[in-house]
Amino acid sequence: MTPTASKFDLARLFAAFSDRTRLRLLNLMNGREVCVCYFVEILGQSQPKISRHLAYLRQAGIANARREGKWMHYSIRRPADAGVAAILETTLQSFAEDREMQADVARLGRACCQPERFVMLEGAPVPARMPS
């Protein structure tokens, strides 16, 4: 169940912020919609693990999901509550000073310019790896 503006669960929001992987996902979604395949490649984690973290962000009320065929795309949901929205925005702004977060965004930029590297072959469990 997604929180409403009148009853936003701050404990769940802060719990969502307590995991580095979830913060990295939020960083990658900041200002854009991202397919799960990119998260898997950039964070180097399994699709089920990424999906669990994304579900946590959705339950916290700060992520949206959209299906397109077999692909799931995620984006940030801006809370209607001004105080909660300010907490989210401050958190997102803090990523600008974090080297790992900026490296993730750079990898996403390279990946998005070469989407054919992420096209999954029928039956393949994960996208092809980018060269280091």
Assess if CATH 1.10.10.10 describes domain 10-118: yes
Decide if 9 contacts 3 (C-beta within 8 A): yes
From 2, 65, 79, 70, select the one nearest 34 (Cα to Cα): 65
Q: What is the pTM of this model?
A: 0.80
Q: Where are the domains of the chain?
A: 10-118
Per-residue pLDDT tens over the stretch 35-92: 999 999 999 999 999 999 999 999 999 999 999 988 899 999 999 999 999 999 999 9
From 49, 26, 38, 40, select the one nearest 95 (Cα to Cα): 26
Decide if 108 contacts 43 (C-beta within 8 A): no
Q: What is the DSSP letter of 7?
A: B
- How far is 54 from 47, CA to CA, in rounded Å? 10
| Token digits of residue 125 | 């469990």
